Chains A and B, each alone.
Chain A
Amino acid sequence: MAILTRRNFIQAAGAAATLPMLGSTAFAQEKLKVGFIYLGPIGDYGWTWAHNKGREEMQAALGDKVESVYVENVAEDASATPLIRDLANQGCKLIFTTSYGYMDQTLEVAAEFPDVKFEHCTGFKMADNVSVYNSRFHEGRAVLGTIAGMTSKTGTLGYLGSYKVPEVVLGVNSFLLAAQKKNPDAKLKVVFIDSWFDPPKEAAATETLLNLGADIVTTHTDSPAALQILEQRGLFGFGQGADMSSFAPTAHLTAIEDIWGPHYTRRAQAVLDGTWKSENIWEGMVDGTVVISPYNASLPADVVAEADKIKAGYMDGSFDIFTGPIYDTEGTLRVEEGKVLTLEELATQDWFVKGVETAA
């Protein structure tokens, strides 16, 4: 796979090599060069697609002041390190590494380039020149869970997971907790496929979840494969990362859209202004980072009303799905009555709430 990665890198690098000739020599003020490391292909129509939209939005917002390069299909292993380093060597002064699995690689390269700013997505390790940024996707999952809890006939929900990392664990727990507020007996079957992007496996896993009794499936992987299976089976689900309704007009009830553009624009502007600081940034619905796609017209009005209540609760800060009492799968009380989990506790969550059924 390293060879494939390099091929894409050469494409991006080639594009990057031609850009500075147009830019930095023609203008007196040096352009800020911003680099992006992407997990999947920009055409995945999910996670990476959303990050690339964010990059384009930043480029459009800041125009001549920035130029951007990206490397796609970067594996979450040691092969990411030289690619991040190459972006720094190319003159990028701000580098976004857009998946959890680039955590240590980002820190390693950041130590070599103290004058370059790094931002690592969904991680928790920081340094003077490494920020972490994340999105409170679980707020969106609470909206989806509410809809699922009211829509499911069997009370068994399905969750197509990628890896058992905190971001996904939070999604699983938030989804089920919200569903249980509408249907206290709701259970959640979770399958982790050990990949972010593998359409055939996503499809097979979705079918397996349905065969295990689920009648509604939400995905935490990056392609619309699950939705297409649901469409063929006449069942329902949700999009991930982007509005995927064009892939499954009937099955797609709504989606969580990741909107990264404002963050990328703000942070690039901060570097230009010299005000960039290492920070831990978790933005959510209220910041416009997590957006719920338009609801499917088939959703009954009472379901829409309940879903909107969760949205409104997050917008005005009156609602948090991780409010106690919350029990884990063993029946242990994890969050006491009235307590709310802090961001630090969320960032390292590794236990599932009562009702989650998975062998992972």
Chain B
Amino acid sequence: MNLEIIILTILTIVGISTPILLAGLGELVVEKAGVLNLGVEGMMLLGAIAGFGVTVFTGSPWLGIAGAAIAGALGGLLFGFFTLTLNSNQVATGLALTIFGTGLSSLIGLSFVGRIVAPFGSVFPPALSRDPILKVIFGYSPIVYFALIMVVLVWWFLRSTRAGLILRAVGENDLSAHSIGYSVIGVRYAAIAFGGAMAGIGGAYFSLVITPMWAERMTAGRGWIALALVVFASWKAPRLLVGAYFFGFLMWLELYAKGGGLAGLPFIPSIPSQFWAAMPYLMTVVALTLISLRDRIGSSAPACLGKPFLPAN
């Protein structure tokens, strides 16, 4: 592996990681507010088709990204209406949102099958974005940098701002937050909308950047990996960043191993490639085990995660 190939490999891994990082970051905020939204896959698909459709009509991938965020947020708000206003079961409603998002995106997508848009690549001048070495810094779609900035913002928001503290309070103890006057439902709606928008942008990364086209179910289960990633990161934004790139690395390693890239190494080539494919999930289990070993008093999951908010009056 020479330097140029290593840089191309880094670009591949960033490409795999960015959508799950975006969707995972959104879901992290949602879960921090005490809501479990299993509809990430559906919201990603809504974002993918909305981003693609808006880009086809307007010619602007920036508007496409905005459209993807709005579509994802609307999907999230629909979930919010059922789970927060009507107090439906969050797990069942989240699964329903995935099914709904899959179906609706397929339906809307019927008129977009076979069309393409220009890939939403780097906006830096070609001297930087196409340079064999410098492209490791400048060669990405704006969405990649956006995702990194959002990691910092979410981390700062949850850790150091008053609003972040309120959001965490709502997730840890909704009744207490309610009793001192915070709007639990309002905070949760906002978190869910944010989570939907991030999932939508993550979905648009597929339809605008990786493969600038629409294909039914083109996210192919990445929403579920994003959900595993949140647990793997134990609800912490910096760990989510590391985890997303680590998952991306493992997913790349599976393909690299299958292509014979690890041949010649001792022992490793005899490991079946299915092992690498299972690694992200195995690592999640390992992370969960380590977390529970570390603090036996309670898990690091938000205490109200997945529970309906039922105030006494």
A contacts, CB < 8 Å to B: 3-4, 7, 40-41, 43-45, 73, 189-195, 197-205, 207-212, 223-225, 228-229, 232, 246-247, 357-360
Contacts and interface: CB of A to CB of B under 8 A. Distances in A.
B154 interface: no
Contact of B215 (A43, A191, A192): A43
B213 A7 contact: no
Closest 7 CB pairs of A and B: A41-B216, A198-B220, A207-B12, A208-B255, A357-B260, A191-B259, A225-B211
Given A41-B106, A41-B217, A197-B220, A228 B116 contact: yes
A212 B260 contact: yes
A228 B102 contact: no
A7 B211 contact: no
Contacts of B257: 359
A359 B259 contact: yes
Contacts of B217: 41, 73, 197
Interface string B136-154: 0000000000000000000
Given A43-B109, A195-B220, A199-B220, A212 B212 contact: no
A44 B259 contact: no
A205 B255 contact: yes
A73 B262 CA distance: 34
A189 B262 CA distance: 13
Interface string B142-184: 0000000000000000000000000000000000000000000
B263 A357 contact: yes
B261 interface: yes
Nearest to A11: B103
13 contacts: A43-B215, A198-B221, A200-B206, A200-B220, A204-B15, A207-B8, A209-B259, A211-B12, A224-B215, A225-B211, A228-B119, A228-B212, A357-B259
Contacts of A198: 220-221
A192 B99 contact: no
B110 interface: yes
B255 A228 contact: no
How would you classify the secondary structure of chain B's contact residues: helix, strand, loop or mixed?
A: helix
A49 B121 CA distance: 29
Contacts of B19: 200
B252 interface: yes
Given A204-B16, A204-B255, A211-B9, A359 B213 contact: no
A200 B258 contact: no
Interface residues of B, number: 49
Interface in B235-279: 251-252, 255-263, 269, 273-274, 277
A204 B206 contact: no
Contacts, number: 135
B219 interface: yes
Contacts of A43: 106, 109-110, 113, 215-216
Contact of B218 (A73, A195, A199, A207): A199
B95 interface: yes
Contacts of B215: 41, 43-45, 197, 199, 223-225
Contacts of A201: 220, 251, 255
A208 to B, nearest CB: 4
Contact of B252 (A7, A40, A204): A204
B5 interface: yes
A208 B259 contact: yes
Nearest to B6: A211
Nearest to B251: A204
B9 A200 contact: no
B268 to A, nearest CB: 10
A358 B210 contact: no
A212 B114 contact: no
A224 B213 CA distance: 9
A45 B211 contact: no
Contacts of B12: 204, 207-208, 211
A10 B114 CA distance: 26
A360 B116 contact: no
Given A211-B12, A247-B116, A203 B211 contact: yes
A359 B275 CA distance: 13
A115 to B, nearest CB: 35
A110 B273 CA distance: 35
A176 to B, nearest CB: 14
Contact of A199 (B11, B116, B211, B273): B211
Given A44-B216, A200-B16, A223 B211 contact: yes
B258 A358 contact: yes
Contact of A7 (B103, B110, B263, B269): B103
Nearest to A226: B211
Given A199-B211, A200-B219, 8 more contacts: A198-B221, A200-B16, A203-B210, A204-B251, A204-B255, A207-B11, A228-B212, A358-B260
B84 to A, nearest CB: 23
Contacts of A202: 211
A256 B24 CA distance: 39
Given A45-B113, A211-B8, A200 B256 contact: no
A190 B212 contact: no
